[in-house]
Structure 1
């Protein structure tokens, strides 16, 4: 089974590519969804996050207040490292379980959609590693429009991630997403064919 990595900067269009893959019948493991799942109340990841940050990050129903936690970690690198240390073991275990299931079902290709593909070192397990990128100006504009953020808040969220230019140097395939969804789809098709021929 070929394990393909998919990543991108915030608001660069990674989720659009992920949806295109699912529409094409290609299985995708979404690391963000897995992280949300393993940190639901009562699960291992939930207990680790509460142990790391204390009960003040919980809502009245006992679930994690994800908006408050996101606001905390986006502005503090040390808090981001604490959150990653709390969640990554549980996410990794669930990814491994789901990848094993895909292998047992004889899936020829499995795509792992992971924002921190390079930062976590998971890229060593995937090939090719596909980056969805766009220009800084378009990234900022899309993020502000998508999340309704002021410019300073959007810039802070972008600055909290590894720069897209640094990711370009690590990626095996780069999809430039400054244009339309149709143009992005065409790049994915061409890149997939090139990857298949080189494998």
Structure 2
């Protein structure tokens, strides 16, 4: 099973790209969705976050107010590290479980959508890697439209992330999502063709490596927990 990493910056359109990739029959593991899953009310990560940040970051229904917490960790690097320490073990364990599930289902290819793929070093456990990018002006405009924030705040959020040019050095496929949907669809089609090339004989050879990757994610999650 080929474990492909996918990453990008804020508001570059990763969701659009992963939806198109799914339409080609490739399963996608979304680490943002995993993070939402493991922080739901009653989960042990939820309890850890409440202990760390207090009940002031809860909504009326008791769930974590992700918007307020997100604003805090954007401004406060110490709080951001605390949140990462609280959530990373559970996310890593769930990722290992989902990878194992796909391996047992004999999937030849699975994609892991991880915004911090390069920053966390997880890129070393995936090959090849796909970067979704767009030009800075489009990125800021989309962020303003999506979040209803000011242009200055949008620019600050983009600037706070690792530059896409730096991430690009670690990626083998680049999808530029600055243009039309038709352009993006064509790039996704070409990328999928490249990813599937030679899968029929490589999949069996990659199984031992897959097991090693799953064990690394699982052990990492257990140790940090």
For the aligned pair, the TM-score class normalised by the smaller chain equals over 0.9
Q: Does the aligned pair in 2 maintain the 1:77–1:160 contact within 8 Å?
A: no
What CA RMSD, in Å, does the superposition of the two structures yield over aligned residues? 1.5
Consecutive unaligned residues of structure 1, counting only runs of 5 or more, are: none
The alignment partner of 1:170 has SS state of coil
Q: Match for residue 117 of structure 1?
A: 117
Aligned equivalents of 1:41 and 1:68: distance in 2? Answer: 16
Consecutive unaligned residues of structure 2, counting only runs of 5 or more, are: 203-225
Shift of 1:101: 0.7
**Higher CA-based Rg:** 2
Moved more, 79-88 or 44-53: 44-53
Give runs of aligned pairs for residues 60-139 of structure 1, distance below 5 A: 60-139=60-139
Normalising by structure 2, we get a TM-score of 0.83
Give runs of aligned pairs for residues 12-51 of structure 1, distance below 5 A: 12-51=12-51
Normalising by structure 1, we get a TM-score of 0.94
Q: Match for residue 152 of structure 2?
A: 152
Give runs of aligned pairs for residues 160-179 of structure 1, distance below 5 A: 160-179=160-179
Shift of 1:32: 0.5
Aligned equivalents of 1:107 and 1:133: distance in 2? Answer: 27
Instruction: Give the aligned length.
Output: 199
Aligned equivalents of 1:32 and 1:58: distance in 2? Answer: 19
